Amino acid sequence: MSHLETSINYVWLLMAGFMVFFMQAGFALVETGFTRAKNALHTMMMNLVVYAVGVLGFYTVGFAFMFGGVGGFASLNGGTMLNGLVEVAKGWGIIGTKGFFLTTGGTYTTAVYAMFMFQVVFMDAAATIPTGAMAERWRFKPFIIFGFFMSMFLYPLYGNWIWGGGWLASLGKTLHFGHGAIDFAGSGVVHAVGGLTALAGALVLGPRLGKFNKDGTPNAIPGHHLPMAILGTFILAFGWFGFNSGSTLAGTDLRIAVVAVNTMISSIAGAFGAMIVMWWKFGKPDGSMTANGLLAGLVAITAPCAFVESWAALIIGAVAGVLVVASVLFVERVLKVDDPVGAVSVHGACGLWGLLALGIFADGTYGIGFNGVGATAAKGVTGILFGDPGQLIAQLISMAVVIVWAFGVSYVFFKVLDKIVPMRVAPEVELQGLDMPEIGALAYPEFSLTGSGDVDVSNGH
């Protein structure tokens, strides 16, 4: 690879990473807009501080656990410095061991630093997702402890199995299931991990005061600033072009055009799908659900974006738009889980759908040699519609693993943490709002927030 090609790849990867970082602003605006004014600063602070905590955790150990066994980065002329994969058997890698503090194992190189810069912002997206589902009643101290747990352990290990040369990625070589489990930009690694962790956390934390009546029926608790949430949605959609297209890791890989178009098509299909379902079911084109539908389409296309044609992206996004509405209703009315922003449904349910969609719609036009499989074959990554049921099997395995790992492990973590450092604020703090008691300032000091957005809790809930 020429110096010019390598330079283009470096610049592309870093610019895409900067776009993904800007998504943090989108998350902050969406979550804050969908919650009440009396908790606005607390919600914003979680989105700010999870960045600091997450980067520190990923820098110290998370990056090494995730990518410390991946080998080199061909697009960056990265050599083979990250070759510390621990395997329980040949092809069954479970964790990396090089790159702690970006120094161990000879990893003080430009290629490793560029890769860290790009990957750390993906981790931060996953760590941010639970803050929305657990907003308005989560104490700040256990939230910080969670941030380290996510960035140092939960996210990196599953990420290693998919992106770090681990055992799920190797299923194509070890068990001959397609090209192994594939998740191009993170429907599973980022979004399902974040969404399923959010589900576990919201279950342990319990619903907000007044969310459910004694008979279990839910009450609406409107967010205080829906225009803010929709602005955040646009910022997320913009950053997603870096999220997905940047995952080529190479500006010289012209597939970035396909990835970008598929990302856009799926997002608008998700928005339309959610809007039409809400309009049909409730009589109005709900703004908040339309925004979540757009995000759902983005989440779903994130895994298959490089491997499908635009018509498939349209279907994937439309299904995600319908799915997010059904999931929100199921989570709230059947599971009795209080998720103020719909994070469990947008990221969890639609992240799983994205993994599955790849196993269905991948058309074989891209991905020859992906995960070390089929380097001499005529076809790339191929789903069941185009003749390879093995790829679907690999995707189903990765879905099962992420459910058990992200939900199961995080549920145990939250239960133990709650015993040691109680996670929920006192009822009087929740009624007052978390801004002053937890953060020491108000987001909107010029307004009197006493009683603002509160609901009747005389029923004991």
The mean pLDDT value of the chain amounts to: 95
What pLDDT does 371 receive?
95
Q: Is 80 exceeded by the pLDDT of residue 100?
A: yes
- pLDDT classification of 446: cutoffs 50, 70, 90: confident
As a whole-number percent, the residues of the chain with pLDDT over 70 amount to 96
Instruction: Write out the DSSP string of 113-173.
Output: HHHHHHHHHHHHHHHHHHHHHTTTSB-HHHHHHHHHHIIIIIHHHHHHHHHSS-TTTTHHH
What pLDDT does 233 receive?
98
Rg of the chain over Cα atoms, rounded to whole angstroms, equals: 21
As a whole number, mean pLDDT of residues 249-267 equals 98
pLDDT digit string, tens, across residues 334-378: 999 999 999 999 999 999 999 999 999 999 999 999 999 975 556
pLDDT digit string, tens, across residues 191-227: 999 999 999 999 999 999 999 999 999 999 999 999 9
What pLDDT does 451 receive?
46
As a whole number, mean pLDDT of residues 32-61 equals 98
pLDDT digit string, tens, across residues 105-162: 889 999 999 999 999 999 999 999 999 999 999 999 999 999 999 999 999 999 999 9
**Residue carrying the six token digits 């759902």:** 296
In CATH, what is the architecture of 3-208+221-425?
Answer: Orthogonal Bundle (1.10)
pLDDT digit string, tens, across residues 65-77: 999 999 888 999 9
User: DSSP assignment, residue 372?
Assistant: G
Report if pTM > 0.85: yes
Output the six-digit token pair for 407: 């939900």
Q: Is 90 exceeded by the pLDDT of residue 453?
A: no
Q: Is 50 exceeded by the pLDDT of residue 170?
A: yes
- pLDDT classification of 456: cutoffs 50, 70, 90: very low
What pLDDT does 35 receive?
98
At 299 the three-state DSSP class reads helix
Whether 125 and 23 have beta carbons less than 8 Å apart is answered as yes
Q: Is 70 exceeded by the pLDDT of residue 452?
A: no
Domain spans in the chain, listed from the N-terminal domain onward: 3-208+221-425
Instruction: Write out the DSSP string of 316-371.
Output: HHHHHHHHHHHHHHHHHHTS----TT-HIIIIIIHHHHHHHHHHHH-BSSS-TTGG
As a whole number, mean pLDDT of residues 423-446 equals 97
What pLDDT does 27 receive?
98
Distance from C-alpha of 120 to C-alpha of 66, rounded to nearest angstrom: 11
What pLDDT does 455 receive?
44
* Maximal C-alpha separation, the chain: 71
pLDDT digit string, tens, across residues 282-331: 999 999 999 999 999 999 999 999 999 999 999 999 999 999 999 999 99
Distance from C-alpha of 265 to C-alpha of 183, rounded to nearest angstrom: 19
Lowest mean pLDDT among 7-21, 42-56, 288-302, 444-458: 444-458
As a whole-number percent, the residues of the chain with pLDDT over 90 amount to 93
Distance from C-alpha of 193 to C-alpha of 259, rounded to nearest angstrom: 22
Instruction: Write out the DSSP string of 29-96.
Output: HHHHHTS-GGGHHHHHHHHHHHHHHHHHHIIIIIHHHHHTTSB--GGGT-TT-B---EESSTT-EEE-
